[in-house]
Chains A and B, each alone.
Chain A
Amino acid sequence: MTDTTTTAPATAAHGPVPLPPAAARLLIATGAVGTIASTFMSWTWTSAFPGDLTVYGYPAGLQILALVAGALTLLFALTLWNTKGLRWLNPAGATSPVFLTALSAFTVCWFTGIAIAVDLNGLVNLDPGAYVAMAASALPVIGALALPHPAPGTGLRGYLTKPSQPRPGTVSPLIERGIITAGTAVALIAFTYGIGIDNDASETFIGFLLLVVFAAWGLMHTGLVDRYATMAARHKGFASALAFVAAVIFPFTQSDDHNANVGVNILIFATVALGLNIVVGLTGLLDLGYVAFLGVGAYAAALVSGSEYSRFSGVHFPFWAAALTGMAASLVFGVLIGAPTLRLRGDYLAIVTLGFGEIFRITVNNLDGDSGPDITRGPNGITQIPDLDIFGFRFGEAHQIAGFTLGRFANYLFLMLIVTAIVVLVFTRAADSRIGRSWIAIREDETAATAMGINGFRVKLIAFALGASLAGLAGTVMAHVNYSVNPQPYQFAGAAPPNSAFLLAAVVLGGMGTVSGPLLGASVLYLVPEKLQFLQNYELLAFGIALVLLMRFRPEGIIANRRRQLEFHEIDQLDVPEQRTLADEPAATKAGA
């Protein structure tokens, strides 16, 4: 595979823990194996703890997570010992991946032990397996700290700074595609597992988050994530097609239509976030009232859906017409709001859009026949929106496909996938064009952009209107998925997505200006409140703390746009061609002065 010739870096003989390397390795190996073994034991006596950890012989719930974490620790420990065939996993020979994966096992096991003790009132409820797991998972952490320190003199911090990677060799395109396929499969499995965790089993979901965060962190330190990203960028079409296929496969893996419901809501949320990304991420216009456009689309679709509670109950558009109506309504609304406000810059624009967002919600609330004309039925909303029927495919009914039963939400999931694909296509194509460049130019320096001949107002209005109509499109589907529309969700900040604050957070969390960023950010922001029900009252608090931490430690978001990353961290160029020395002759002589 990759041809790397790294010599052992000249580092201190051992880390903060004074142990000879041999002992450290032994410690890591036994710890990892012990962790794996412990997952086959019983951790508690009662099945009252979520996930049923009582069975000897096969792991369940949190034990599976501990098993994966232990296996990863073992894997990366083996890469350090020049195991044949594993070297490519860790070309820099860094110790930090072992440390981080060991931490993932440690946190999962200790979290489980503590959670059992707290949930069931007392250490008494721990079975021997749990003690074994906690003890065994602690060993690799100690062992990793005893390994030669990657950057002497920096203390524990040295383990957490990303090691520099040798330039990766090249592999054949076929293998690269294979790797992308495998990566997509892993992502699908992880996502399916995460979404499949029972809503009451918050403990398992926290364990899942711990594992994912530490394992991803560890993988990033091996450089595998960067290399994977480069490969995916090289086979862009293939990678996105695969991601689409994986999303199509997802409903087939679910026996319960509830998860498809979660899936379709995530997709709606993510699609709207992607539309917002055009406005915020590309053009740099902070829009705090964006959810209103989703509402306009949803209301427009509801009004022409043929619902008997609609003001125009006789009107029943086919879906394509309803979708166009929703988009057009949002577009008009976007232009109406944009035209007067886009002359403002920065904070002023944010405040004005915030105001317009609220105006939409309050207006819709008041158009109930009492305080205004009866169009939206006020707080009651428009209910009993009929299910869609496209070419005789009835969305309201379950269908049997190849032995799998696909329920109502699975049907909508497929529809929403198509919508998302359209929005992704629009986003990528628009971003990589004359108009996209002018958006970015405006974000970078509006004065210079206008001096380069860009009509700032016009270009910003296009971005605003495009973002609005994409949100409107998602809104039309959402009205049908939820059977009803009412003003309540379309506020600035609320406990559950979608609302403007969450949408913006999804964009910022995922990574501004990228496609996958808002998709990932929206998934995380939808799943976390959904699965951690016990947070209910503190959700916004936790959300705020998480955002502050994110801005402190990774301001460019989970998936960093190359530009953003360079903006926030003064690091070297990432993927520019090798520096060539310039010709000695001065430039102008070449031009024939």
Chain B
Amino acid sequence: MRFGGLTAVRSVDFTVNSGEIVGLIGPNGAGKTTFFNCLTGLYVPTEGTVAFKGKVIPPKPHLVTQAGIARTFQNIRLFANMTVLENVLVGRHTRTKEGLWSALLRGPGFRKAEKESEAKAMELLEFVGLAAKRDHLARNLPYGEQRKLEIARALASEPGLLLLDEPTAGMNPQETRTTEELVFAIRDKGIAVLVIEHDMRFIFNLCDRVAVLVQGEKLVEGTSDVVQADDRVVAAYLGEPFEGEPGQEEAAEVEAAEAAADATAPAPKTDAAPEPAQADTSPEPEPAQADTTGADDTAPADSGAGGDTGSDGAESTSTTKGEAQ
């Protein structure tokens, strides 16, 4: 997936099996949400395809949902002025097919379908624990319940794969735990879950497998132990450990530059280069800064994030094998 000259996601290739919870982590800007948007058809991938149950899905959001992939959003996107029940009913859109005519004629088939939809929706609200609030407007729910409602709405489309984009963002530890249990319950229904999250404890508790995305590319994939032990992952988040004196490299650079300046300019009046002095004050290996340098260092050769308009693009394959639901 490219935006202009920037390659946001490329060559990410992975598979989610049914009944599995897979985590997707990575530093900010790694391309996790972009990857989700590619999967769900909100972005049309520049290259590559999305396959579900062995079938390639066209990059149209409604077709993706119809095929059985549902999602939630990083910043909650409920239908704020619809009631809780109506929100879930909208989620059932693809699983019902009453059109305008049947709505106008109100035959027995229409009534039956509406009743069934409502029963299914109530079941889901019961599942996430919002049944008592069915007639409230979504905008009036507290934050945590809005998150739950969004999950219920996504489940209403009877997905085989559920994509959760930071489901615990902004939650307190107790709410996070509840969400964790909810995700397990969803898995137990036979639905595969792919979850983006920054809360590492949440991810490593929850996920059978974890994939790490850095600079738009998949770094590692494996069980939580494998991922946690991987040096490159630590480097991506925290930067590479220093060897030798801090700032040693820079100091050497400055010296070399000074020597060069001496050689070219025969009349040196003052300190030749004031700006390298900044490089000398290179700080302790502090995470915030090391994050960026570390990321730069780990993938210097492959990362075509610059103006690389070569043939690399997203190849995001997501397949659920076996029976999903």
Q: Which positions in A face B, CB cutoff 8 Å?
A: 425-426, 429-430, 432-438, 440-441, 444-445, 447-456, 462, 466, 563-564, 566-567, 573, 576-577, 580, 582-583, 586-593
| Chain A residue with the shortest CB-CB distance to B67 | A453
Contacting residues, chain A, for B323 (C-beta < 8 A): none
Verify B128–A563 contact, CB threshold 8 A.
no
Picked from A437, A588, A591, A593, the residue with its CB within 8 Å of the CB of B89 is A437
Q: Which positions in B face A, CB cutoff 8 Å?
A: 40, 42, 61-62, 65-66, 70-71, 73, 77-82, 86, 89-91, 93-94, 96, 98-100, 102-104, 106, 110, 113-114, 117, 126-130, 132, 135-137, 139-140, 148, 153-154, 157, 177-182, 184-185, 188
Verify B106–A593 contact, CB threshold 8 A.
no
Verify A438–B129 contact, CB threshold 8 A.
no
Contacting residues, chain B, for A441 (C-beta < 8 A): 79, 82, 90
Given contact pairs A462-B100, A583-B129, enumerate 7 new A-B contacts (beta carbons under 8 Å): A435-B99, A440-B82, A452-B91, A453-B66, A455-B62, A576-B136, A587-B182
Verify A580–B104 contact, CB threshold 8 A.
no
Chain B nearest CB from A279 CB (Å) reads: 14
What are 8 A-B contacts with C-beta separation under 8 Å?
A: A425-B104, A441-B90, A447-B42, A448-B79, A451-B40, A453-B62, A453-B66, A588-B181
Q: Once the chains are docked, how many angstroms separate the CA of A203 from the CA of B41?
A: 62
| Chain A residue with the shortest CB-CB distance to B189 | A591
> Known contacts A444-B79, A452-B157, A576-B135: does B178 contact A588 (CB below 8 Å)?
yes
Verify B136–A429 contact, CB threshold 8 A.
no
Contacting residues, chain B, for A426 (C-beta < 8 A): 104
Query: What total count of A-B pairs have CB within 8 Å?
Result: 150
| Chain A residue with the shortest CB-CB distance to B157 | A453
Picked from A434, A466, A587, the residue with its CB within 8 Å of the CB of B98 is A434
Q: Once the chains are docked, how many angstroms separate the CA of A471 from the CA of B80?
A: 30
Q: Once the chains are docked, how many angstroms separate the CA of A434 from the CA of B40?
A: 22
Chain B nearest CB from A572 CB (Å) reads: 9
Q: Once the chains are docked, how many angstroms separate the CA of A591 from the CA of B148?
A: 13
Contacting residues, chain B, for A447 (C-beta < 8 A): 42, 61, 77
Contacting residues, chain B, for A452 (C-beta < 8 A): 65, 70, 90-91, 93-94, 153-154, 157
Q: Once the chains are docked, how many angstroms separate the CA of A454 from the CA of B73?
A: 16
> Known contacts A437-B86, A437-B89: does B71 contact A451 (CB below 8 Å)?
yes
Contacting residues, chain B, for A445 (C-beta < 8 A): 77-80
Chain A nearest CB from B147 CB (Å) reads: 11
Picked from B79, B104, B177, B184, the residue with its CB within 8 Å of the CB of A449 is B79
Chain A nearest CB from B149 CB (Å) reads: 11
Chain A nearest CB from B126 CB (Å) reads: 7
Q: Once the chains are docked, how many angstroms separate the CA of A444 from the CA of B82?
A: 8
Chain A nearest CB from B245 CB (Å) reads: 51
Chain B nearest CB from A567 CB (Å) reads: 6
Picked from A573, A576, A582, A589, the residue with its CB within 8 Å of the CB of B181 is A589
Verify B90–A449 contact, CB threshold 8 A.
yes
Verify B79–A450 contact, CB threshold 8 A.
no
> Known contacts A454-B90, A587-B148, A588-B182: does B98 contact A433 (CB below 8 Å)?
yes
Contacting residues, chain A, for B42 (C-beta < 8 A): 447, 450-451
